[in-house]
Amino acid sequence: MNIIFLTFIVLAATAKTSNSICIEITCPSVDDNESVYYLYPGNCTQFIQCSNGLATVHKCPPGLVFDDSLNVCNFPDNVIGACGNNQNRSTTLEAAAESTLEELAIGQDRIENPASAVKNTSMSSTTLVSTTSQLSQEEKCPEEDGPYAVHIPHDSNCTMFYKCFKGTPVLQLCPSGLWFNAVLEVCDYPEQSGCVMGKSSS
């Protein structure tokens, strides 16, 4: 009887620990003009963003998947590859997860159970549009980058926003069909963004 009870405890403990995932990645300690992104292994609705040496897990808005060829959250029908519905996709999710895990396992930084260990937001990634722009006095970028990226709304275009990089605003563009949500600092569906085209979205 004691052996059966002990076996049950060991199996229960093993089942509990198997739910957490351990991923090792290397994030550059200093950002250049473009962030580094990885598809989250086995989950097309999540991705990992490196910023100033820190890895952060992000979740795409509902209905979108991470497009690792463009580094944006996108509609599945527009995605070619493991996470898309496009007929030209060339790999399966399992193959993408395997290659991503191999790539991530090379690094030094470690994420254990990322849902609780790092900031988890509903943020989509963006595409670089131009290098710099001037912002109003109240919307200045901090001189030094912190552990999380700072995003500032564009003053008149809801599909654009600025990502701060070493005190300089870098103009970014939301994926097609999404608008910048200044409260959440993410690209979101227009009706949920709180942004009004032609007016500042504060």
**Residue 164 near residue 141, CB atoms below 8 Å:** yes
pTM for the model: 0.40
The secondary element (H helix, E strand) that includes residue 112 is strand 109-112
* Cα–Cα dist 8/3, whole Å: 9
Could you tell me the domains of the chain? 22-125 (no CATH), 126-202 (2.170.140)
**Residue 194 near residue 181, CB atoms below 8 Å:** yes
* Cα–Cα dist 128/16, whole Å: 41
**Residue 104 near residue 24, CB atoms below 8 Å:** yes
Position 139 scores a pLDDT of: 66
Name the average pLDDT for the chain.
Answer: 67
Position 99 scores a pLDDT of: 41
* pLDDT at residue 127 greater than cutoff 60: no
Q: pLDDT of 150-198, one tens digit each?
A: 889 998 899 999 888 888 888 888 988 899 998 888 888 999 999 988 7
Residues 42-62 have a mean pLDDT of 86
